[in-house]
Amino acid sequence: MKIYHNSRCRKSREALKTIQNHTQEYEIIEYMKDRLSLEEISSIIKKLKLDPISLIRKNEDLWKQNYKDKKLSDNEIIKIMQDNPKLIQRPIVVIDDRAVIARNIEKVKDLFN
């Protein structure tokens, strides 16, 4: 199990605590410190079964000011996330070939079932 974690995010801290209460086997990936590769982001998107735009935090000023009204390809959106990890929805929890955006703790709990 992996959690793509931002320690400054309350929802991310809650998801991590839930994981710690359910298992000892997990990896914390602090994507704000160690940027994700294009391949990692693409893999997460595939596991989430989402379009890249669905992984963007569209309420961030960075998005609104620089990208909101642009016509962007999926590859361009992935590159934007790589360059600006702040724009990636969080937290993301991955187990095997499944992943969830774990803003709702119940989604994390469902991964253990």
pTM: 0.91
| pLDDT score for 105 | 87
Whether domain 2-111 has CATH 3.40.30.10: yes
Q: Active-site residue 9, yes or no?
A: yes
Query: Domain residue spans in the chain?
Result: 2-111
| pLDDT score for 66 | 96
Q: Which of 1, 2, 8, 9 is catalytic?
A: 9
Query: What would the pLDDT profile of 28-65 be if each residue is shown by its tens digit?
Result: 999 999 999 999 999 999 999 999 999 999 999 999 99
SS3 label, residue 95: strand
DSSP H helical segments within 10-104, as ranges? Answer: 10-22, 38-48, 61-66, 74-83
